[in-house]
Amino acid sequence: MKLREDIRNIAIIAHVDHGKTTLVDQLLRQSGTFRANEQVEERALDFNDLEKERGITILAKNTAIHYKDTRINILDTPGHADFGGEVERIMKMVDGVLLVVDAFEGCMPQTRFVLKKALEQKLTPIVVINKIDRDFARPKEVVDEVLELFIELGADENQIEFPVVYASAINGTASMDPDKQDEDMTALFEAIIKYIPAPIDNRKEPLQFQVALLDYNDYVGRIGIGRIFRGTMRVGQQVALMKLDGSVKTFRVTKMFGFIGLKRVEINEAYAGDLVAVSGMEQINVGETVCPIEHQEALPPLRIDEPTLQMTFLVNNSPFAGREGKWITSRKLEERLRQQLETDVSLRVENTESPDAWIVSGRGELHLSILIENMRREGYELQVSKPEVIIREIDGTLCEPVERVQINVPEDFTGAIIESLGSRKGEMLDMANDGNGQVQLEFIVPSRGLIGYTTEFLSLTRGLGILNHSFDSYQPIIPGQVGGRRQGVLVAMETGKATAYSILALEDRGVIFVEPGTEVYEGMIVGEHTRENDLTVNITKTKHVTNIRSSTKESTENIKKPRIMTLEQSLEFLNDDEYCEVTPKSIRLRKKILDKNEREKAAKKKKYAQVE
């Protein structure tokens, strides 16, 4: 069997923030892919603004480097479980993986998640223990943890005999020895060439190309990115596209791109083992196979993770609608959501009875909040409802998604965390004390119990705890209320500007969300009540002016700092009868029914309906 020794296809997988993207930066730099005078940003592959700000990889990306006589195709994958659909498909395109693990933190929930996907595909692993230069790095213990995880996930004998490279991506060094670092990354380059299998060279057989990722370009339309598993592909070639529904479409390959560094390069021909991007097929989808018209043979379709969470997206109809956004109509909103479907295969958009509302389903809160954040930055105004988990019927039983949660906290907070997750129907699987006052807890918790939990967790641990979770499985529904907000809210009584005088008077009623001078409207949520019921308040009241000097005249300086919430915090905070209004400049929380009397009538109706 002939192999293409000039190519290696690898994916880099890891938990969030264990240094994948920084590692790719160094491989790009040290391979000589960039010119000596070329300016390269840090985390060069994270070119989306949100990726740069949050320091996470959202979209899988491919690049290629040359080392000696070998081209190494590298796919940088998202570490966050919400983007697991991307990870799974990438595993089909490569022959091996670099599993990057932090030398201090060790194996984390997403390490398990991404490694499980790689082992299922029978890929060859190389373990990279990164951040070896960190204080308290414990490389030898971490290698043992990784080995235990391999065994637990059912790795075969070949996979368990993994080579280990010790690296400091930030310093650009690597070595096979945990106690000393070489001057550069040569040890890692050599390990990739030595251990990752070369693809089979069967370029003379009939073509088979499978799409694993989608891109979109206004000039050429949809672009399918994937791997040639067999044969040769040329520009101008007439080919058959084997659709997932069994139908076959024919088209001509109009353009083909290869990858080198951060650039796409137009090419005319590619062979088995190459990763390429192809344009010319408008209707192409992930998992579909391109083959010769006279030799139609489809590859097994790729499995795509189904959504677990859904929200309703609506046209903004608040009293302040249209003030800040450029795109506010239902037509524009629907166009934008449909455009997202072109490249995001884990997303679903369904119409509702109303022409102004859509049910949007995704892989988790982060997946959907990234979409909302991108839309507001592009000038869209919209409203969204509280996130809800998607219930499925499996073998006649209603099931809900559950997540595996890993928590690292100082010992003092352990009791409070166990109690808080117990009230959210969490089941503790493991508890380990590291001897330095830190405790690691592992739970299985229904996904709906984790909606809104992050804020509570940070206040319970005074910001010292670390929480990670990833989707585990669907399990029969646990009856009863799980999670949700316990406190009521303070709701504005009328439209106007919030005044320091009113805010000062309301501070003992709860936590205020707005600053003096903020414009508010009737039905807008302006704070969190200290009690469980909602309270309608007048936050626009001004002080009655008299000519008598008051002893409290200067007290406006003592107003407490308001709680200004991010988009994620706002989505977590929502209750069933509330919306989050999102515009390019503002994030506001509001009641679905703005009028106080109408709200009370609706609440009474609901109460009577429940009693009946």
Architecture of domain 208-292: Beta Barrel (2.40)
Q: Across the 612 residues of the chain, what is the mean pLDDT of every consecutive 10-residue run?
A: 90 78 83 51 42 41 83 76 64 90 82 80 92 87 92 88 92 91 91 94 92 78 88 92 88 87 84 89 84 90 80 95 92 92 85 95 86 92 94 92 87 91 91 82 90 82 80 86 82 94 92 94 95 93 69 60 90 92 95 93 83 63
Cα separation of 179 and 139, whole Å? 9
Helix (H, G, I), strand (E, B) or coil at 545: coil
Integer CA distances (angstroms), 317 to 72, 410, 582, 589, in order = 52, 46, 11, 13
CATH class for the region spanning 489-564: mainly beta
CATH 3.40.50.300 fits 7-195, yes or no: yes
Cα separation of 586 and 14, whole Å? 34
Q: What is the pLDDT of residues 122-140, one digit of tens each?
A: 999 999 999 898 888 889 9
Long-range contacts of 549-556 (CB under 8 A, 24+ apart): 555/504, 556/500, 556/501, 556/504, 556/516
Token match 């040359």: residue? 66
Nearest partner of 475 among 308, 238, 301, 252, judged by Cα: 308
Which residue ranges make up each domain of the chain? 7-195, 208-292, 392-476, 489-564
The pLDDT of residue 503 is 93
The pLDDT of residue 330 is 94
CATH number of 392-476: 3.30.70.240
Token match 């650009």: residue? 172
The pLDDT of residue 90 is 81
Q: What is the pLDDT of residues 516-532, one digit of tens each?
A: 999 999 999 999 999 99
Alpha helical stretches, state H, 44-185: 49-54, 84-91, 109-120, 139-152, 157-160
The pLDDT of residue 192 is 94
The pLDDT of residue 553 is 52
The pLDDT of residue 43 is 38
Integer CA distances (angstroms), 7 to 68, 343, 518, in order = 11, 27, 59
Annotated binding site: 17-22, 130-133
The pLDDT of residue 83 is 56
The dihedral region occupied by 523, where left means phi > 0, alpha psi between -120 and 50, and beta the remainder, is left
Compute how many other C-beta atoms are within 10 angstroms of the C-beta atom of residue 553.
8
The pLDDT of residue 468 is 76
Please provide the average confidence, as pLDDT, over all residues in the chain: 85
Annotated binding site for GTP: 17-22, 130-133
